[in-house]
Structure 1
Amino acid sequence: MPDEGVAMGNRYAPSGALDARREKRRELGAKAVVRDSHRTRIGGVVLDISRWGCRIDLFSGGASPGRYVTIKLEGMEAWSGYVRWSKSSQVGIEFERPMHAAIVDHLAQTRAEVEFLQAS
């Protein structure tokens, strides 16, 4: 039986490809607002991030695979992509275009500094 794949907007990804990562994700824990194509706004926390995508724990609702979304973190430009998977309140997003490595490093480092200062 052929692999049906997973809908990705106007393209499909083979089911097995969802487990593959282009690079390791970095822990983040930053609040974000997610908007879908219907302009629905859902708050959440970006749990981890890489140049290619992120994992978000949504405060309410969910988003189905293939849905186009825009993610906005405080102080950053909005970033768009597709929901690749959804499990309970968490979703995996593949960015429409890769984020620059320096931005991912900055986000992860800033978060680490905030956690360090709060622990003091």
Structure 2
Amino acid sequence: MVSDRQAERFDISVQGRYRTGSGLPRDVPILEISETGCRFFDKFGRLKAGDELTLRIGTIGPVVATVRWSRDQITGVEFAKPLYGPIFEHIRDKLDCT
């Protein structure tokens, strides 16, 4: 099976918070992360492909992202710019609460 993923993904358990436009911030658990995007659980499940948002990942952010897909309250986003290597490693190694 050929994958079109740009970067390796890592399971993670970090609290995040997103906001779309001038909407209210929503707290979400981030489940998986790569340098180019992440996947999170959104109990409201109202995001759709193409929505733009800003996301805090633990204490990091805001990070600008675009929703690529959303199914069954799980949302996948792509970051506007890949996370800087040391920042990504900090999130993956220090903020992960699993």
TM over 0.5: yes
70, 87, 92: which one aligns with 2:71: 87
Aligned twin of 1:50: 34
Q: 2:60 aligns with which of 76, 92, 101?
A: 76
Unpaired runs of 5+ residues, structure 1, are 1-18, 116-120
TM-score (norm 2): 0.86
Shift of 1:58: 1.2
Count of aligned pairs between the two proteins: 96
Equivalent residue of 1:78, what SS? strand
Alignment equivalent of 2:86, drawn from 102, 107, 114 = 102
Q: Give the Cα–Cα distance (whole angstroms) in 1 for the partners of residues 59 and 22 of structure 2.
A: 24
RMSD: 1.7
8 Å contact kept, 2:20–2:52: yes
Q: Percent identity?
A: 23
More helix by share: 1
In structure 2, stretches of 5+ residues that fail to align are: none
| TM superposition score normalised by structure 1 | 0.71
Residue 107 of structure 1: how far off its partner (Å): 1.1
Instruction: Please tell me whether residue 63 in structure 1 is matched to residue 47 in structure 2.
Output: yes
